[in-house]
Structure 1
Amino acid sequence: MKRTKFIIPAIVLFALTLNIQITAQDNIACGMEVTYQGKIYKTIQIGKQCWFKENLNVGTMINVSSSQTKNDSIEKYCYNDDPANCEIYGGLYRWDEAMQYVKTVGAQGICPSGWHIPTKEDWEILQEYLNDEATKLIDKNAKSGSTYTNESGFSALFSGYSNSIWVCCYGLGYYGYQWTSTETSNRNAYGIFMSYNYDNISFNYDKKNNGLAIRCIKD
């Protein structure tokens, strides 16, 4: 009987230890890699915020001339309908698709669990932390001959965007656009704009039907 009593607590202790390990793996620390939809993303601590170090590339590619719709799958555009551009610059998403058809500021959207589509305020905090110097955000190799420092490690790229009126795309290698989860009207939402010839991070009123990149931020 004494031997039985000793074995049972040992089994319970093992189970508790296993449970703690599983819980710890679910709570990813900033700087660790995140595996999501078969792709590994690096993360970076900037001030008190934790960001993905690259644009999100998740979902099934559809032609830029097609509409992303509310269904059982995430849909993305690739610049000029070239999958290679998604691998380098990430997917391009209409605002509703990125938000997964909710309008809640800070919604998870197409980001993995524990992460969300950054709000305008999230970007403003980052902007203030870096003294509104876009050069500290932009990857050193974003454009040849540039003097970007990427001091923050954010590694922004000039991913361009898809335009619902022109049907296709604009700005690859020259301009970077990112969605926020903060809308301005039924048709528009705040987008982030960075340019090869402009030193600041600016906010645009972007049409929700345009396809912009997504950078997830930790809850």
Structure 2
Amino acid sequence: MKKFFGIFMLTVMSIFIFACSDSSAGFSAGDVCPESGRGTFIDERDGQVYKYTTIGDQIWMAENLKYNAEYSVCYDSLNGFCDTYGRFYSLQKNGDGLAELDENLVASVCPAGWHVPSLAEWDILVNEIGDGYNQKSANRLRNDSISSSYRTGNDECGFSALLGGAYIGKNHIEFYKFDALFWTSTPMSDGMIYSVKIEQDITPFNSLYRMSLRCVKD
């Protein structure tokens, strides 16, 4: 009996030590992304109203951009898709998926006072809500209540990442209900731009033909 009790206590202690070693175990949405830091703003270009959320020292759009920018696409094969998931964008010259960034488009696509986030700004977000590009961070950003193949996203910070996939041409999307893919303003290599992919975890990824866009406040 004493031997069993000793093994039991050792197991309990091991679990406790493991839990305490998790650097994100002390995460508090009330401290990192309080509801008092959330609200709405108007894009004066088209009157569209967007939600926003404050995460750490950053303020992010809490919805995908819907502005009808050059080379953007509204996927209309699913009723109401564009209203929920926003438009799909290219930020490359001439809308060419193998071209370099169109700096004029990058500078103008977001509402006034907002900009396309760099990969470094995504890094700040990810580290603020977790301890890196991992599943816990993804869960805190994903809203799985609308459509998802995972159903584990708790959206603690009100970021509401929706798994809308990416537009690959000819009115066709891929990765719907599996991935959310967002532009960054950071070049990756010739013809490729960094994106951020949110699925079961978060991954820096390469750009695809048309992707969703979240803006961050200047």
Do they fold alike, i.e. is TM over 0.5? Answer: yes
**Which letter does structure 1 place at the counterpart of 2:53?**
I
- CA drift of 1:80 comes to 5.4
Tell me which amino acid in the other structure corresponds to 2:60: W
Structure 2 residue 103 is the aligned partner of structure 1 residue 102: yes
Mapped pair 1:161 → 2:157: no
The one-letter code sitting in structure 1 at the alignment partner of 2:211 is L
SS in 2 for 1:128: helix
Tell me what 2:198 maps to.
194
1:91 equivalenced with 2:87 (yes/no): yes
Change (3 A) 1:134 1:53: same
1:128–1:205 distance in 2 versus 1, CA, 3 Å: same
Deviation for aligned residue 1:184: 1.2
Tell me the equivalent position of 1:78.
74
Q: Which residue, out of 19, 38, 41, partners 1:34?
A: 41
Unaligned runs of 5+ in 1: 1-28, 60-72
1: CA distance, partners of 2:101 / 2:111: 12
TM-score relative to the length of structure 1? 0.69
- Aligned residues with identical type, % of pairs: 28
Paired with 2:143 and 2:87, the residues of 1 have a C-alpha distance of 18
Q: How many Å separate the matches in 2 of 1:167 and 1:40?
A: 26
| TM-score scaled by length of structure 2 | 0.69
Shift of 1:95: 2.1
Q: Which amino acid counterpart does residue 205 of structure 2 have in structure 1?
A: N
Give deviations 1:48-103, integer Å, cap 9, x for gaps.
100011000011xxxxxxxxxxxxx6342123555621101010011227998217
- What is the SS of the residue equivalent to 2:108? coil
Give the paired residue count: 170
Query: Secondary structure at 2:49's aligned position in 1?
Result: strand
SS in 1 for 2:165: strand
